[in-house]
Amino acid sequence: MSKDNIVIREIRPEDNPQIEAVIKGCFPEFKIPLKGTAYEDAETPFMYESYQGDREVYYVLANNTEVFGGAGIKQLKDFDGNVCELQKMYFSPKIRGKGFGKKIFEKCLKAAKDFGFETCYLESASQLKAAIHIYENFGFKHRTEPLGNTGHYSCGVWMTKAL
């Protein structure tokens, strides 16, 4: 697959079915529980609509015909503080290992900073070792307990970074 025509752009309404398929496809592949994760979030089939508020954005990795993954930034749910959450960072196997995850992650952190958030929080599953490695390299620190109320009780990795 050529890297040339793949871009990072904001999500569009017509991207919803493809990004939902990418997100949900990662769960059986990595043997992540379906309950208590992004797999069963009400917003997963409606990613475009879910990121239209102030201080939130969802980026996709795409070419002219296909969406290969994405990641987003949004205020941390049910948390009193200027904290955003990195959300739903998932990629198709077709695109992994090519440096795109790092690029979209950097774009999300820049957006979070530009939105004026002070801290970025994320949750992950211990199975997603490559992603956790990226987070650690960017200075995210492990926490012993979750923040806010994401509903993702099956995610056992919690991390934060001051922006």
All structural domains of the chain, each given as residue ranges with its CATH number in brackets, are 7-162 (3.40.630.30)
pLDDT band at 3 (very low <50, low <70, confident <90, very high): low
Q: What secondary structure letter does DSSP report for 20? A: H
Q: How far apart are CA 127 and CA 125, in angstroms?
A: 5
Q: How far apart are CA 40 and CA 45, in angstroms?
A: 9
pLDDT band at 68 (very low <50, low <70, confident <90, very high): very high
pLDDT of residue 19: 98
Q: Which of 145, 151, 121 is nearest to 36 (CA)?
A: 151
Give the mean pLDDT of 14-38: 95
Edge-to-edge strands, sheet with 157-162? 7-10, 57-62, 67-75, 83-91, 119-124, 157-162, 141-142
pLDDT digits (tens, 9 = 90+) for 116-150: 999 999 999 999 998 899 899 999 999 999 999 99
pLDDT of residue 104: 96
pLDDT of residue 130: 87
Q: Which of 84, 74, 80 is nearest to 47 (CA)?
A: 74
Whether the pLDDT of residue 2 is over 70: the answer is no
